[in-house]
Structure 1
Amino acid sequence: MSKISRDSDIVELDGPPAYEYGEKVRSRLNIRNDGTFPGKEIGEVLVKKGDEGYVVGIGTFLQQFYIYSVDFVALGRKVGMKGREIESIEQQHDALPEQDVA
């Protein structure tokens, strides 16, 4: 039997969303169609790890998770993703140490 990962102990809605509208993000994983994306086969890859997009909507799922609607402009599709499936590109650049210019 395969090991099933469950997020049942996590309740993200206790705090604010991790990402903001318009924020540029990158997929941390390959995302496959779970049957909720029309026009694609179940199991078909919708987004590849490293693909970049923008948060265009923030909703909730099961009164537990934030779901971010991410517009992957280069792919021409919007995909709903959990916070753990994306990372901010903007925050990464902000976190880089400043360098002195000689």
Structure 2
Amino acid sequence: MGLAREEEVEIYDQPLFMPGAKVRSRKAVKNDGTMPGCEIGEIVVRKGDEGYVRDVGTYLQRFYIYAVEFLDCGRIVGMRGRELIAIDAGDAAASDISDEQETAA
């Protein structure tokens, strides 16, 4: 899906996540050439990695970009809202259990 096909202008609404929110990556993210010190195509965030939103910016005056600090890998990565899911302490434990059940099935 290209950017030209998306009709929704996210910045008309409030951001999905505010600075300080704990989030989890919904998918693996590869370096598109904007991450210094990493090869293009190298995975910089894995599905399930958890981090904290540090800042909220915009891209093309249409989309929110969330600067997420992933503490385990020590990286700050810009991500779209659709690539993240909000978690809190209670949700993290519950989702870990459901992930284990899916793996065992």
Task: Quickly name the TM-score band, shorter chain normalised.
Answer: 0.7 to 0.9
Q: How many residues align?
A: 90
Change (3 A) 1:64 1:92: farther
Structure 2 runs not aligned, ≥5 long: 95-105
Q: Which has the larger radius of gyration?
A: 1
From the two aligned structures, give the one with the greater helix fraction.
2
- The equivalent residue for 1:80 is 78
- Give the aligned residue type for 2:54: V
Aligned residue for 2:88, secondary structure, equals helix
Provide the TM-score with structure 2 as the length reference.
0.80
The reply to whether residue 6 of structure 1 matches residue 2 of structure 2 is yes
Pairs within 5 Å for 1:20-99: 20-90=18-88, 93=91
Identical columns (%)? 51
Q: Aligned partners of 1:92, 1:73: CA distance in 2, in Å?
A: 19
Q: How big is the shift at 1:90?
A: 2.5
CA RMSD of aligned residues (A): 1.7
Q: What CA deviation, in whole Å up to 9, does each residue of 1:17-71 have, x standing for no partner?
A: 0001100000001000000000101100000000000000100000010000000
Worse-superposed segment, 84-93 or 28-37: 84-93
Stretches of 4+ aligned residues off by more than 6 angstroms? none
- The equivalent residue for 1:19 is 17
